[in-house]
Structure 1
Amino acid sequence: MTKSFKHLDTITVLFVTVLLISNVTSTKIVALGPLTFDGGTILFPLSYIFGDILTEVYGYARSRKVIWLGFFAALLMSVTFIVVGALPPAPDWTYQTAYEQILGLTPRIVVASLIAYFAGEFANSFTLAKLKLVTRGRYLWTRTIGSTLIGQVIDTALFILIAFTGVVPNALLLTLIISNYLFKCGVEVLFTPMTYWITGWLKQQEREDYYDTHTNFNPFHIFDRESSV
């Protein structure tokens, strides 16, 4: 019998919502002091925090299913934006150019976003699950921060290199990677106390503290019994 949870669906919705909003706001490049990053960076680190909570409490298999839900939601959103943008506008609708500038995602941006998300999120979840076994469930901060350091460097580097190589100067590419990475990891560190509190509360509420001792870590193995949401 599949175990049911009171809050897994809520965490899933929040995770996917943060992902979709981040993808839309990433179309703007922001400069704050010495840091230069896309607008999605402001919210996107929260998806890694939710990812940490999912894996820590519910295990890699259930987190894997949520990551895939986010992937297909982002794909559907991107394809919809592109298709709607390609449709002929009404004669009295004068905002086609504005739509294309903000939501007219190029296939290159879509591919970059999906590849970076897939690789980064699974690296984050895998690392946290393995570290939990190594630390025997102690030192949560080592898992949340350590997994983010690995997942975010993969996510950030892949997205910027795929999306912007040849579009912006190479020097700016490096600046974007470093700025995005430092900001995202900084948010993870800053939110560590909240992550501790939410994780502890969920473990108590759900009566679950999953250890991935016998888990199949293949990211494409999504139909096993443990991945039921």
Structure 2
Amino acid sequence: MQHNVLENKATRLFIMLGGFFVANAILAELIGVKIFSLERSVDIAPLNFSLFGISELSFNLTTGVLLWPFVFVLTDLINEYYGKRGVRLLSYLTAGLIVYAFAMVFVGIHLAPADFWPQSHISPDLTPNEQALLRSQVGDYDAAFRLVFGQGLWIILGSLVAFLVGQIIDISVFQRVKKITGEGMIWLRATGSTLVSQFIDSFVVLFIAFYIGADWSLQLVLAIGVVNYIYKFLMAVLMTPLLYAVHFLIESYLGSDTASAMKHKALQN
């Protein structure tokens, strides 16, 4: 008797984890154009410290950092139950979809806007002062769209290369640590692999996007990279309890025998 492939719990779990993995990675790329102040977001003054001769540094971060920690937690979960092949499949698929997303954004940017759209955010029902305020903030909707989504080629290339390199390193470190520690010490292989891969990721994207693409000095690249990594380091540690919680949910969903068999097979493969 033929069974629907979606009746298999392991298949359904892979689709769910993979869906969140792809969605988080693409969203991180799209919203990453915004730079936010971490200190001001939590209502404290910027730290203003110095590194490598670069002064007045603070935690001004790309909004994408909100989602990348979840991507690497998902990487470790998929690695745990589906092995290197599962993570590589999703990583290459995600990279291709990121390219596709930016290609569609590029097409969208170059489409001619409808006559009414560039000013459609300024409602005639508003007062003259409110209309003037909107025009001073966003005078042309189409120009704002181009500015927000029209990321430079070097930034896109740097981010994509950093993602793939980070994933490959994360996969390898995770599997090496697991072969040493076995089923125990989930925090060590998950957090450890994330910390190593994120260290490389933090500098690869800046080196390609800004050292090569924007003529930043090496000192500035190193300083900004360290600031980014400090944040990613703290987030990786803070998300360790979440990793254990999701592990518990997955084990409950699959059942201990199925989960154990999947983890054994993932390590062997």
TM-score, shorter chain, exceeding 0.5: yes
Match of 1:80 among 100, 104, 116: 104
Count matched residues: 215
TM-score scaled by structure 2? 0.73
Letter in 2 for 1:198: V
Whole-angstrom CA distance in 1 between matches of 2:69 and 2:200: 13
Q: Secondary structure at the match of 1:124?
A: helix
Deviation at 1:4, TM superposition (A): 5.3
Corresponding residue of 1:146:
192
Match of 1:28 among 16, 34, 46: 34
Which of 1 and 2 has greater Rg?
2
Whole-angstrom CA distance in 2 between matches of 1:167 and 1:70: 26
Q: Secondary structure at the match of 1:89?
A: coil
Q: Which runs of 5+ in 2 are unaligned?
A: 39-45, 47-57, 119-140
Corresponding residue of 1:161:
207
Contact 2:83–2:267 at 8 Å: present in 1 too? no
Deviation at 1:36, TM superposition (A): 2.2
- Tell me: higher relative CO, structure 1 or 2? Use CA pairs within 8 A at least 6 residues apart: 1
Q: 135-144 vs 175-184, which deviates more?
A: 175-184
User: For 1:101-155, what per-residue CA distance to the aligned partner results, in whole angstroms no more than 9, with x for missing partners?
Assistant: 1111222122111111111012112211221111112111110111011110121
Whole-angstrom CA distance in 1 between matches of 2:158 and 2:209: 5
Contact 2:35–2:63 at 8 Å: present in 1 too? yes
Whole-angstrom CA distance in 1 between matches of 2:267 and 2:15: 24
After TM superposition, what 4+ stretches of structure 1 lie above 4 angstroms from structure 2?
none
User: For 1:68-118, what per-residue CA distance to the aligned partner results, in whole angstroms no more than 9, with x for missing partners?
Assistant: 221111111111111221233333332222112111122212211111111
Corresponding residue of 1:43:
67
Whole-angstrom CA distance in 2 between matches of 1:204 and 1:69: 28
Work out whether 1:109 is the aligned partner of 2:155.
yes
Whole-angstrom CA distance in 1 between matches of 2:148 and 2:172: 34
Contact 1:29–1:36 at 8 Å: present in 2 too? yes
Work out whether 1:99 is the aligned partner of 2:138.
no
- Aligned pairs for 1:175-194 (under 5 A) are 175-194=223-242
Identity of aligned residues (%): 24
Contact 2:37–2:61 at 8 Å: present in 1 too? yes
Whole-angstrom CA distance in 2 between matches of 1:152 and 1:141: 16
Contact 1:133–1:213 at 8 Å: present in 2 too? yes
Contact 2:28–2:64 at 8 Å: present in 1 too? yes
Contact 1:52–1:144 at 8 Å: present in 2 too? yes
Contact 1:35–1:179 at 8 Å: present in 2 too? yes
Q: Secondary structure at the match of 2:117?
A: coil
Deviation at 1:67, TM superposition (A): 1.4
Work out whether 1:53 is the aligned partner of 2:77.
yes
Q: Secondary structure at the match of 2:259?
A: coil
Corresponding residue of 2:14:
8
